[in-house]
Structure 1
Amino acid sequence: MTLPPAVSDFFLSEIDDRLPGRVAGLFLHGSLCWGEFFAGSDVDFVGLWEELPTGADLALLRAAHEATKVRFPSLVFDGFHCTSADLAAAPALVGRRPVFYQGEFAAAGTIDINLVTWHELAERGITVRGELPPVFTDLAALLEFTRNNLDTFWRGIAKQVDDAGPTVFGGHDASVAFVGLGPARLHHLLTTGTLTSKSGAGRYVRDSLDQRWNLIARESLRLREDPGSASLYDDPARRGRDAGGLLRWLIDDGCRDRAGGSARRIDAAARHQGDPA
């Protein structure tokens, strides 16, 4: 596999050829900023402009992204373009911006324009070009955003898991890894007041939560980090029941104190409220 930085460098060369001097910064977040990049990992970017492209310039931006996709067909290079003023504001106030997501360009999209991205950039964003400007952060708002995501998006996933049944769901590696690690990242944030990676979330479940979730946590980590190795399960239905059970527990536990917050969550938030962005 071509090293991930090559895709961002190639994109910059393509956009510079079409719109010289317009892209002031390019920053990476997601798996790479956690020091993790496995087969199937995305390269998540934020492009910084002094003035966002409009009209014919949007077509040139689209062409740069499409050329990058042709050059790196196996890499997912997803993200959005914004200004310094956007990053200095709460993401809910930013509105729609040019995005490239799952191989498609949109002049007005919302992918990754959220507090998780803002906090990742502020805490550990990787600079490819330029200097990262001040980035808005708000831990209390991030925690509420996270609870809402558990209560809406992940409850919807839980229904899909139930509808599929444990054998079908448990026999699909990508779905098990998605469910085994995704909501655990949110629970970790609500419990500790800090972000973590997908692998960090798997280790959190494995090492810090009830031992009944240990096996499915190790299996989820295996699927992410060493998918060619043998499964820790010999029965897909059991794997499906364990992953589904973990998902429902993470949702219920993460949302149970939505109105007030348990003492450990309040203490964790207080410890990090004064952290520098």
Structure 2
Amino acid sequence: MDLMLPKDAAFAIDSYLRAADRLLPGAITACAVGGSIALDAYRPGRSDIDLAAIVSDEWRGHRGLMARLRLLHLSQLPRLAVRAARGRGVSACCNTVFVWESEAGQPVTRIRPIASHVGEIFDPHGAFDVNPVIWKELVDGGISVRGDDVSTWGLDPEPDGLRDWVARNLDEYWAPLARSVGSGKRRLSASEVEWCLLGPARMHHTLVTGKIISKEAAGRYAADAFPVHAPIIKVALARVRHDTIPSQPPREYWRTLTAEAMQTMLAEARRSHPPA
């Protein structure tokens, strides 16, 4: 296990890979950690762990593969339950995408992911995180926790298509979400404000600069770039930092302010790079 990893992340990954070796002997030939760790933004006790696992082609056609991957996902529950009981929350959860060894070097948008799991959700049909943004995270800062260094994997994040992919993601996912937020009635939680603002902020930054940044860095960027929306962005920042949520603006205005900030970021993104 790489000594650069935070202690709780190293423990979680070691536990996860030992479970993988019991359930799928010889299947995971390489594994790397990306996400907040790759972006040097990991917060012990708060952040999850994003993994990309390479699976041996010898497991193709194995009838028990999907069931075993589901069990691997569930294998984290006892450790997470202990953490929760000790007041540490359920962070340090491994969120993993699985790709075949023979496909890992293909352009990322051509890879057919085997499966993935994020939090409590297991997807037996694909993996959203097999995309140009996540692959760039891995290429730029991914840390190998099994197998050779990530730089030797031959990953192709399709850099020439990164901005087009981000523009489509903003148009296909974040724009409908912004409309939904704007038309909703119930009050938003701080976690919903965080998701709705820091996601588009990260995408906007990547569209403008071509670089990938963490949620917290995106919040700081957005507050500077769109100062009129800084008060509601500070709510999102407080949530991601686990700081005290500001008393201003009042919660009854969060939904309207969040929708307005999202629309501003989306409009600026379209001006800088219209979706293809």
Same fold (TM over 0.5): yes
- The one-letter code matched in structure 2 to 1:56 is G
- The one-letter code matched in structure 2 to 1:157 is L
Which residue number corresponds to residue 244 of structure 1? 259
Q: How many residues align?
A: 255
Which residue number corresponds to residue 16 of structure 1? 21
Which residue number corresponds to residue 188 of structure 1? 205
CA drift at 1:234:
4.7
What per-residue deviation string (whole Å, max 9, x for no partner) do you get for residues 134-179 of structure 1?
11022231100101111120111112211224x713xx11111112
Change beyond 3 A, Cα 1:50–1:188: same
Equivalents in 2 of 1:152, 1:253: separation in Å?
Answer: 16
Equivalents in 2 of 1:174, 1:114: separation in Å?
Answer: 24
Change beyond 3 A, Cα 1:260–1:239: closer
For the 8 Å contact 2:31–2:146, the answer to whether it is kept is: yes
Q: Normalising to structure 2: TM-score of the pair?
A: 0.83
Please show how residues 92-171 of structure 1 align to structure 2 within 5 Å: 92-131=109-148, 132=150, 133-165=153-185, 168-169=187-188
Which residue number corresponds to residue 69 of structure 1? 77
Equivalents in 2 of 1:128, 1:139: separation in Å?
Answer: 24
Which of 33, 45, 56 is matched with 1:50 structurally? Answer: 56
For the 8 Å contact 2:108–2:157, the answer to whether it is kept is: no
What per-residue deviation string (whole Å, max 9, x for no partner) do you get for residues 7-56 of structure 1?
21111111212333332111111122222234553221111123263212
Is residue 31 of structure 1 aligned with residue 40 of structure 2?
Answer: no
Q: Normalising to structure 1: TM-score of the pair?
A: 0.82
Change beyond 3 A, Cα 1:18–1:84: closer
Q: Structure 1 residue runs of 4+, over 4 Å off?
A: none
Please show how residues 225-236 of structure 1 align to structure 2 within 5 Å: 225-227=241-243, 229-236=244-251
What SS class does the counterpart of residue 248 from structure 1 fall into? helix
Change beyond 3 A, Cα 1:62–1:237: closer
- The one-letter code matched in structure 1 to 2:100 is T
What SS class does the counterpart of residue 157 from structure 2 fall into? coil
For the 8 Å contact 2:108–2:158, the answer to whether it is kept is: no
What SS class does the counterpart of residue 130 from structure 2 fall into? coil
What per-residue deviation string (whole Å, max 9, x for no partner) do you get for residues 177-232 of structure 1?
1122110001001111211111110111123x1321222232221111024x1414
For the 8 Å contact 2:26–2:56, the answer to whether it is kept is: no
Q: How much identity, in percent, do the aligned residues show?
A: 22
Which residue number corresponds to residue 67 of structure 2? 59
CA drift at 1:71:
2.5
Which residue number corresponds to residue 254 of structure 1? 269
